[in-house]
């Protein structure tokens, strides 16, 4: 098309300004929502990335390259195939099981949003730390979120008209889309609404609360071993190791040496 792909424009000249990047995100989200929720059978693109989003004369985004796409009945949850796609954009469940679904496209779209905000490739890039380190764009975005430094993700070439809050919100949407667990990712219709300014705060808060709860449960499991586990104590008379239950060890400690 007239203006090539989003990937070529992000790394080329003149760079895309913020208004164009936001418009591309919304148009691409609308296109994927249509494929997933309004087509019958639904269409799973399976290779959502900046190189497969083309730009027309007005810089409007058009989804392209349906070579890996699959048709799926609305009653079916996934399709199982050999793993195909682009490293850095492939959802973890698809990579490990060969099962792809709408949520696999959502993951790829999350990486696309990070591309739009940062202007960087999804893998094998040097982050903007000093000294620079090799990492993945998603890992870096997660790290910046944890450290409350999301502003470091923003492309320096974004140009005039840049809205910092809109960029931070787009990164939040991207991280929701790129959750490791498919069920925690939003549907594309939800993604579209969040990009248009509806419902992001609630979704982001709920995601953070769930993550904190899971972290607390994980920490509790590590801190409180099972009561029926065996501990090994050393017999002071001959140095041999004897298996004891936790309760037996506690009784020995309370009774003291004999």
- What residues act catalytically? 47
**What's the N-to-C CA distance of the chain in angstroms?**
88
CA 47, 80, 68: angle at the middle one, nearest 5?
A: 25
| Residues 6+ positions from 210 with CB-CB distance below 8 Å | 184
Q: Are 43 and 21 in contact (CB under 8 A)?
A: no
Q: Are strands 99-100 and 79-80 parallel, antiparallel or unpaired?
A: antiparallel
Q: Are 65 and 5 in contact (CB under 8 A)?
A: no
- The closest alpha carbon to 98, from 85, 80, 72, belongs to 80
Surface-to-core class of residue 152, CB atoms within 10 Å of its CB (0-12 exposed, 13-18 middle, 19+ buried): middle
Q: What share of the chain is helix, strand, coil (3-state, %, to 5)?
A: 50, 10, 40
HSE, side-chain direction, 13 A CA sphere, residue 19 = 4
Q: How far apart are CA 104 and CA 41, in angstroms?
A: 17
CA quadruple 81, 37, 67, 77: dihedral, nearest 10? 0
């Amino acid at each position: 098309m007239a203006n090539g792909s989003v990937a070529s424009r992000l790394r080329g000249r003149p760079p895309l300004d913020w208004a164009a990047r936001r418009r591309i995100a919304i148009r691409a989200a609308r296109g994927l929502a249509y494929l997933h929720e309004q087509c019958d059978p639904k269409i799973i693109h399976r290779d959502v990335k900046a190189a497969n989003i083309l730009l027309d004369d007005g810089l409007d985004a058009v989804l392209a390259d349906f070579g890996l796409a699959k048709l799926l009945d609305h009653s079916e949850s996934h399709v199982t195939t050999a793993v195909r796609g682009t490293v850095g954009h492939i959802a973890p469940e698809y990579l490990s099981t060969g099962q792809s679904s709408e949520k696999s496209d959502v993951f790829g779209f999350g990486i696309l949003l990070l591309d739009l905000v940062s202007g960087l490739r999804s893998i094998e890039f040097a982050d903007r730390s000093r000294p620079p380190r090799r990492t993945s764009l998603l890992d870096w975005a997660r790290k910046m979120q944890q450290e409350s430094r999301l502003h470091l993700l923003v492309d320096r070439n974004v140009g005039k008209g840049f809205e910092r809050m809109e960029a931070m919100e787009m990164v939040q949407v991207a991280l929701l889309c790129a959750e490791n667990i498919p069920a925690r990712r939003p549907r594309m219709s939800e993604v579209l609404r969040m990009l248009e300014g509806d419902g992001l705060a609630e979704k982001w808060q709920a995601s953070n609360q769930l993550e904190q709860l899971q972290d607390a449960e994980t920490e509790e499991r590590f801190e409180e071993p099972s009561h029926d586990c065996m501990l090994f104590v050393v017999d002071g008379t001959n140095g041999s190791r004897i298996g004891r239950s936790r309760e037996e060890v506690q009784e020995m400690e309370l009774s003291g040496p004999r």
